[in-house]
């Protein structure tokens, strides 16, 4: 299945790309939390980073399942 609208990504490649982007987002929000000037902002960025980590884990699970189905 081609998901890319013409650029040639298959399902596995799309998931791998999404996984990479979730990790980048998680790391970006972690860094922003360290730079935050106030506790409320820091906590907000920490929460968003945890959400991105959750997305990453879900995508990893889906990728593993697809690879097992072969």
SS (H, E, C) the chain: CECCCCCCCEHHHHHHHHHHHHHHHHHHHHHHHHHCCCHHHHHHHHHHHHHHHHHHHHHHHHHHHHHHHC
CA angle, residues 64, 19, 66, in degrees to nearest 5:
20
Other beta carbons less than 10 A from residue 69's beta carbon: 6
**Which has the higher per-residue pLDDT, 4 or 68?**
68
8 within some domain: no
55 within some domain: yes
Residue 63 pLDDT > 90: yes
Q: What is the pLDDT of residues 3-49, one digit of tens each?
A: 555 445 799 999 999 999 999 999 999 999 999 999 999 999 999 99
Residue 59 pLDDT > 60: yes
Tell me, what's the pLDDT at 7?
Answer: 47
11 within some domain: no
Structural domain of 48 = 17-69
46 within some domain: yes
Looking at the structure of the chain, the number of domains it has is: 1
64 within some domain: yes
Q: Does the model's pTM come out above 0.85?
A: no
Residue 59 tokens read as 């995508």
């Amino acid at each position: 299945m081609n998901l890319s609208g013409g650029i040639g990504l298959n399902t596995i490649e799309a998931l791998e790309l999404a996984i990479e982007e979730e990790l980048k987002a998680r790391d970006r929000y972690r860094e922003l939390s360290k730079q935050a000037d106030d506790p409320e902002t820091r906590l907000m960025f920490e929460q968003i980073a945890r959400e991105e980590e959750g997305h990453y884990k879900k995508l990893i699970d889906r990728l593993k399942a697809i690879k097992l189905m072969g």
